[in-house]
Amino acid sequence: MSTTSIDSLQHEERRFPPSEEFAANAVASSGLYDEARADRLAFWAKQSRELLHWHKDFTQTLDWSNAPFAKWFADGELNVAYNCLDRHVLAGNGDRIAILWEGEPGDSRSISYAELTAEVKRAANLLTKLGIGKGDRVAIYLPMIPEAVVAMLAVARIGAVHSVIFGGFSAESIRSRVDDASAKLVITADGGWRKGKVSALKPAVDAALAKEGTHTVENVLVVKRGENDVDWVEGRDLWWHEAIADVDAEHEAEAFEAEHPLFILYTSGTTGKPKGILHTSGGYLTQTAFTHKNVFDLHPETDVYWCSADVGWITGHSYVVYGPLANGATQVLYEGTPDLPHPGRWWEIIQKYGVSIFYTAPTAIRSFMKLGREIPDAFDLTSLRVLGSVGEPINPEAWVWYREVIGGGKTPIVDTWWQTETGAIMVSALPGVTIAKPGSAQVALPGISIDVLDEAGNAVPVGGGGLLVVSEPWPSMLRGIWGDPERFKETYWEKFGTALFEKPKYFAGDGARLDEDGDIWLLGRVDDVMNVSGHRLSTAEIESALVSHPIVAESAVVGAADETTGQAVVAFVILRSDQSEMQTADEASALLRTHVSDQIGAIARPRQIFIVAELPKTRSGKIMRRLLQDVAEGRAIGDTTTLADTSVMQIISGQLGSTNG
């Protein structure tokens, strides 16, 4: 909700027509729209056969008879890793570079498709030797190093299921994910480079595995990267480089059913417990490959692609690992922070490798904007020809800056809307086809059906706001929530269509507006999910972390508009009565910020914590976050008439004169 509307007035009238360079792509792409409109399923079947190698062809494209549980290409068989590796080598492209890796301290590695294939084959043999088989879950907790990609592909190659846990998450987050998926193996590193120093990873895994619910883990495989000292559990822990040295180099990829599970990725929802989003093989790989090729106009022989996302997020899964590798792309992988050892590090990397396609988040763009254009202007960025944005709405001002300063005023920008659940891009302009409108994600991709509906399920009129839904199943859709089919149905499918309806529609949780051209403008989440720097965080999850601390009686968390990160976490906390005198509000607030960071991870640490005496509640006891949001954003407080006690907000805003927070 926050940033889109403010400066859209200033830029809304600006239109950026496609340049001549993309004329050929425009013709090809409009053909895709036509084909998909004529027969959506035939379109996806054709794309899938063109983009992937099927060991066994499929006869049925979609089985939606058990909606909302979909099956795509169900009787087909393929191997995801073979599609990302072996077939490129067999096609004569083994010497093509797959990964141009940059470590934060300045070390680098360049890895060809032949080398990556060889490495994944060894890793697959190692996993098998460790007793990992088809369907077993493997947790991966690694920095942005090539072994992260190797580990994911090796797991996929043997038909096991990976659960990648972002390296910024805490021991408790690792514990709950390992427990939920009953992981048999954890792959981690001693540490990785982050913000100019080695940040240890293994201690968090050790701490997690010392907790309850993690007894399923038999081994911990440790990549040496940080060279930091680590504790060692004999019989459980193995060094990756030692263990991989004495396994066979040959490995033949076995074919698995199209619906065989590929990975689980946990994401925040509206409750305190993250959901394990399940993705499967054939449909997921079809749509990640299709979108990566067409949304970015990829030419794998000549392009150098870079997506700045960490593999711990869905963007890293789909647009660092599976999409680009399925398409045989050459890509940059960067371990560290954007501003080290100097604030132009990213632009230096683009110059060094001649990056032509760059995909990043609005938060990053806004923080570079703040530093001024002198920094990127000092580098040669003329190799760039397509820019992408993902994770949150991009405000028109940042959009225009991105195009002018980074894209030299000539590159198309694709603003891509999608989710962990959708698996791949759903709404985006196509370069060369769509007249770009800064701030609007614009149109559904070929083969994707998007609607904006009101609460009753009716299409909103032009200019109207409503809820974003996907009205037809799509190949890379989530297949469920791990271990919780009821929550899957409830969360996504029951708002627009129940078992009574023949065809339920997918409710995305985002608000959207349609303009007079039919373009889609995303307006932010309509549920209690926040978006901080393009990362999803749940208010309920942070609230439960807060109340797990013995000094806290009650808490309420809101996402407050933030100039750089889109939203920021702001918490309101009532201390237990015996605690209020024990410490100052400042002390309590500092203690609790650290506590949240320990419980979930540094990204969830509140920007501010206000220690308050009361929270605004309705008569039925529901916290009115809207009012707290007014306070957190420094606005006049809205309508308080539905509060059980109307004086509460006066007390809270009165208190804010005090210094805590």
Which one, of 438, 166, 447, lies nearest residue 291 by Cα?
447
CA distance 149 to 495: 37
**Which token pair is 37?**
């409109």
Position 525 contacts ligand 7RM (CB under 6 A): yes
Are 150 and 120 in contact, with CB atoms under 8 Å apart? yes
Residue 430, token pair as written in the block: 């196509």
Nearer to ligand 7RM, 335 or 415 (CB): 415
CB 246 within 8 A of CB 213: no
- For residues 122 and 244, is the Cβ–Cβ distance under 8 A? yes
The first and second tokens of residue 450, run together, are: 């998007």
Query: Which ranges in 223-381 belong to alpha helices (H)?
Result: 240-245, 282-295, 314-316, 323-326, 345-353, 362-371, 374-377
Of residues 310-339, those binding ligand 7RM (CB under 6 A): 314-315
- Which residue number, 247 or 508, has a Cβ lying nearer to ligand 7RM? 508
**Comparison of 82 and 418: residue with beta carbon closer to ligand 7RM:** 418
Of the pair 222, 414, the CB lying nearest ligand 7RM is at 414
Residue 390 binding ligand 7RM, by CB under 6 A: yes
Out of 2, 531, 533, 589, the only residue in the binding site for ligand 7RM (CB under 6 A) is 531
Q: Which is nearer to ligand 7RM, 43 or 418 (CB)?
A: 418
Residues 130-189 binding ligand 7RM (CB under 6 A) are: none
Q: Please pick, from the candidates 206, 510, 562, 630, the single residue that binds ligand 7RM as defined by CB under 6 A.
A: 510
Find the binder of ligand 7RM among 226, 323, 391, 447 (CB under 6 A). 391
Q: With binding defined as CB under 6 A, does residue 267 bind ligand 7RM?
A: yes
Which range, of 123-131, 207-215, 479-487, 508-516, touches ligand 7RM by CB under 6 A?
A: 508-516
Q: Which of 395, 420, 539, 660 binds ligand 7RM (CB under 6 A)?
A: 420
Give the number of C-alpha atoms closer than 13 A to the C-alpha of residue 385, restricted to the C-beta side.
18
Residue 426 makes contact with ligand 7RM by CB under 6 A: no
Asked if residue 441 lies in contact with residue 521, where contact means CB atoms within 8 angstroms, the answer is yes
Token pair recorded at residue 367: 């923080």
Q: Which is nearer to ligand 7RM, 330 or 360 (CB)?
A: 360
Minimum CB distance to ligand 7RM, residue 601 (Å)? 14
Entry field: residues in the chain: 661
- Asked, as a colleague might, if the bond just before 341 is cis with ω within 30 of 0, I would say yes
The sheet carrying 97-102 orders its strands as: 108-112, 97-102, 330-334, 304-307, 357-360, 386-390, 413-416
Among 175, 202, 513, 536, binds ligand 7RM (CB under 6 A): 536
The CB density around residue 385, as the number of other CB atoms within 10 Å, is: 22
Contact set for ligand 7RM, span 189-228 (CB under 6 A): none
Half-sphere exposure of residue 309: CA atoms within 13 angstroms, side-chain side: 25
Could you say which of 312, 447, 534, 601 contacts ligand 7RM (CB under 6 A)? Answer: 534
3-state secondary structure of 610: strand
Stretch that binds ligand 7RM, among 151-159, 506-514, 615-623, 636-644 (CB under 6 A): 506-514
Q: How many CA atoms lie within 13 A of 512 on its CB side?
A: 30
Which two three-digit tokens encode residue 51? 């983009």
| 293 contacts ligand 7RM (rule: CB under 6 A) | no
Cβ distance to ligand 7RM smaller for residue 437 or 536: 536
Minimum gap (Å) between residue 534 Cβ and ligand 7RM: 6
How far is Cα 184 from Cα 513, in angstroms, rounded to an integer?
Answer: 45
Give the range of 55-63, 391-399, 591-599, 648-656 binding ligand 7RM by CB under 6 A: 391-399
Kindly give the pairing relationship between strand 97-102 and strand 330-334.
parallel
Query: Among 71-79, 200-208, 409-417, 585-593, which window interacts with ligand 7RM (CB under 6 A)?
Result: 409-417
Q: Are strands 520-525 and 506-514 parallel, antiparallel or unpaired?
A: antiparallel
Binding site for ligand 7RM (CB under 6 A): 267, 314-315, 390-393, 415-420, 441, 508-510, 522, 525, 531, 534, 536
